């Protein structure tokens, strides 16, 4: 496993981060989830990402139970706050001081740890003054409940405002967690340049485009039984944007590209995002331990320039690049 600094901080994280978004506590049984986390640890992954909203807090509980026997100082544990949790009452969402301060305590309890290495704003909250949110984060850092602060799916302008306030309040906002893959490159024109300027790194989610870049979804054929595209608990909705025939046909053209560098298509996809020097880590999940071992093999891989060029040629105009999509996909108002 290779390690990279997160932003301008001294914190190092594994190039592959294990995430338990659509799996733990919902899609797979707890014993399988445990096997996947153990496989991640055995493969040298030290960084684990979750959120209070995943499986309505169950994912944090599963992760905390598996990791509780590990040396805490050898791990980087990340979680997030924003989306509705619990009974989803009127203060159970957003980035208000009340919700943030209550949520960190709940996350620490479920994760069975005294602190998280990174606490992330899961989205930007248009209903709460940014000053209120950042003051709450500053107090959490000073209380030792989080070492660093990050965000997820914020625009370049929101990042600039957040970093400026964090500096005024004396703590570090060091990371951004956006969707990023060969097929979804909306951060490249605005978010990445701003992040480089600000000393912020990307921890990218969905580097395999919800599984589409594995090549298992064939054009003109029904999705394989049990795949994410057939999951009605959220997986099918998320993968839908990549399931058109033109995209699936283009993805099949990546197979010989992967074979030319002795990688699987999944490994090629993960290695591709890691070529971006602003990406600190690729966030991958798993429903089987074998998937963990396959994805870890992408760490440390350097793709030749001609391979990167060939990928662009193969995918052509099916790639989504519009930087406005970050704001477009953000909630217009706080969910309830």
pLDDT at position 236: 55
What whole-number distance in Å separates Cα of residue 36 and Cα of residue 98? 34
Which residues are within 8 A (CB) of 45 and not within 5 positions of it... i.e. 6 or more apart? 1, 14, 16, 17, 18, 292, 296
User: Which domains, ranges and CATH numbers included, belong to the chain?
Assistant: 3-208+276-301+319-328 (3.20.20.100)
pLDDT at position 237: 63
SS (H, E, C) the chain: CCEEECCCCCCEEECEEEECCCCECCCECHHHHHHHHHHHHHCCCCEEECCCCHHHHHHHHHHHHHHCCCCHHHCEEEEEECCCCCCCCCCCCCCCHHHHHHHHHHHHHHHCCCCEEEEEECCCCCCCCHHHHHHHHHHHHHCCCEEEEEECCCCHHHHHHHHHHHHHHCCCEEEECCECCCCECCCCCCHHHHHHHHCCEEEEECCCHHHHHHCCCCCCCCCCCCCHHHCCCCHHHHHHHHCCHHHHHHHHCCHHHHHHCCCCHHHHHHHHHHCCCCEEEEEECCCCHHHHHHHHCCCCCCCCHHHHHHHHHHHHHHCECCCCHHHHCCCCCCCC
pTM here is 0.92
**What are the residue numbers of the active site?**
54
pLDDT at position 163: 98
Distances from the Cα of 49 to the Cα of 111, 117, 129, 282, 308, angstroms: 11, 10, 26, 11, 28
Beta bridge partner(s), residue 149: 119, 173
* Residuewise pLDDT in 10s, the chain (336 residues): 999 999 999 999 999 999 987 554 455 567 788 888 999 999 999 999 999 999 889 899 999 999 998 999 999 999 999 999 988 889 999 999 999 999 999 999 999 999 999 999 999 999 999 999 999 999 999 999 999 999 999 999 999 999 999 999 999 999 999 999 999 999 999 999 999 999 999 999 999 998 899 998 887 766 666 555 445 555 556 677 888 899 999 999 999 999 999 999 999 999 999 999 999 999 998 888 898 999 999 999 999 999 999 999 999 999 999 999 999 888 877 776
């Amino acid at each position: 496993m290779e390690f990279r600094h997160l932003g301008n901080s001294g914190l190092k994280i594994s190039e592959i981060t294990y995430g338990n978004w659509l799996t733990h506590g919902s899609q797979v049984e707890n014993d399988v989830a445990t096997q996947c986390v153990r496989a991640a640890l055995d493969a040298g992954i030290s960084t684990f990402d979750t959120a209070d909203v995943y499986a309505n807090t169950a994912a944090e509980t599963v992760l905390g139970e598996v990791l509780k026997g590990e040396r805490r100082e050898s791990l980087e544990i990340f979680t997030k706050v924003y989306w509705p949790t619990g009974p989803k009452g009127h203060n159970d969402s957003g980035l208000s001081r009340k919700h943030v301060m209550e949520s960190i305590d709940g996350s620490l309890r479920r994760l069975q740890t005294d602190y998280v290495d990174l606490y992330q704003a899961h989205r930007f909250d248009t209903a709460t003054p940014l000053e209120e949110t950042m003051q709450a984060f500053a107090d959490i850092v000073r209380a030792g409940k989080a070492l660093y602060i990050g965000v997820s799916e914020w625009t370049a302008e929101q990042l600039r405002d957040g970093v400026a306030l964090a500096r005024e309040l004396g703590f570090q906002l060091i990371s951004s967690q956006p969707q990023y893959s060969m097929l979804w490159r909306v951060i490249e024109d605005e978010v990445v340049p701003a992040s480089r300027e600000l000393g912020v790194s990307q921890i990218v989610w969905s580097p395999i485009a919800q599984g589409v870049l594995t090549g298992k979804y064939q054009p003109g054929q029904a999705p394989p039984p049990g795949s994410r595209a057939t999951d009605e608990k959220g997986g099918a909705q998320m993968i839908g944007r990549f399931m058109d025939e033109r995209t699936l046909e283009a993805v099949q053209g990546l197979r010989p590209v992967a074979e030319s560098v002795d990688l699987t298509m999944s490994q090629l996809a993960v290695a591709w995002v890691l070529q971006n020097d602003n990406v600190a880590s690729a966030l991958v999940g798993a429903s089987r331990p074998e998937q963990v071992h396959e994805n870890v093999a992408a760490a440390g891989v350097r793709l030749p320039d001609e391979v990167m060029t060939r990928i662009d040629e193969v995918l052509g105009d099916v790639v989504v690049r519009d930087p406005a999509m970050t704001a477009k996909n953000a909630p217009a108002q706080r969910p309830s």
